[in-house]
Copies of this chain bind each other. A is one copy, B any other.
Amino acid sequence: MNAAAESARAVVLVSGGLDSATVLAIAREQGFACYALSIDYGQRHRAELASARRVAASQEVVRHEVFRLDLSQFGGSALTDGSLAVPDGPQEGIPITYVPARNTIFLAVALGWAEVLGARDLFIGANAVDYSGYPDCRPAFIQAFTELANLATKAGVEGEQFSVHAPLIDLSKSDIVQRGMKLGVDFGLTLSCYDPGPGDRPCGVCDACRLRARGFAGAGIQDPGLC
């Protein structure tokens, strides 16, 4: 019998970046049988979905689903609207790479799958430090979603409690890199860039690339993803 099949199940949002790869390793370390969920939302950087598959396979999840919902139908973000450029330098305020209601939508889908699976734990790589410009990466958002989950579902009505885990929420990028390395995450499988070039080569100048570079530099580790 597979020991993992007896463990409590968790749905883990896995984007293909280094944050969610680390979150998946944390969920596994906590003993959860992990169901990885990636969202194909019409993102410019769809190459991250191939990374998500590699990450999910390398960490031996019970199942990996890629769920398609095309937010480019609405546009409104540089990540989903081809007519808006990804900025190549630091931004003030909420950046144009913010995708309206993205984490609300992703967690809602994760909640639906969790209810079907009998899972009561959701994991997300939201981070309030580096991504302070994204409203849906804040602890108050995670708390509000947890309350919603317990009102929205059959399981919640029947008295079971959902937990939304955001274990990276107050960590710096360097902390995340160090945490992932300790857990054996292969960051060479991950892709963070918002606007990769031919061969999925990171652009090196978008917010996501700069934060990643700073994270590895701060941790004193060479990024295996840039080789």
Q: Chain A interface (Cβ within 8 Å of chain B)?
A: 65, 67-71, 73-76, 94, 98-105, 107-109, 111-113, 115-116, 135-136, 138, 140-141, 144-145, 147-149, 151-154, 156-157
Q: Judge whether A140 and B151 touch: CB under 8 Å.
A: yes
Instruction: Please name all residues of chain B whose beta carbon is closer than 8 Å to the beta carbon of A141 when the two chains form the complex.
Output: 148, 151-152
Docked CA distance A67–B108 (Å): 15
A146 to chain B, nearest CB (A): 10
Identical chains in the assembly:
2
A69 to B69, CA, bound (A): 5
With known contacts A67-B73, A148-B148, A101–B111 Cβ distance under 8 A: yes
Are B74 and A101 in touch, CB under 8 angstroms?
no
30 residue pairs of the A-B complex, CB under 8 angstroms, read A65-B74, A67-B70, A67-B73, A68-B68, A68-B69, A68-B70, A75-B116, A94-B157, A100-B111, A100-B113, A100-B153, A100-B154, A101-B108, A101-B109, A101-B115, A101-B152, A101-B153, A104-B112, A105-B108, A105-B111, A105-B112, A107-B108, A108-B108, A135-B154, A136-B151, A140-B151, A144-B144, A144-B152, A145-B148, A148-B148
B135 touches A157 (CB 8 A): yes
A121 to chain B, nearest CB (A): 15
CB-CB under 8 A from A154, the residues of chain B are 94, 98, 100, 135
The interface residues of chain B lying within 8 Å CB-to-CB of A153 are 100-101, 135-136
Complex-state Cα separation, A107 to B151, whole angstroms: 14
- Which residues on B sit within 8 Å (CB–CB) of A109? 69, 101, 105
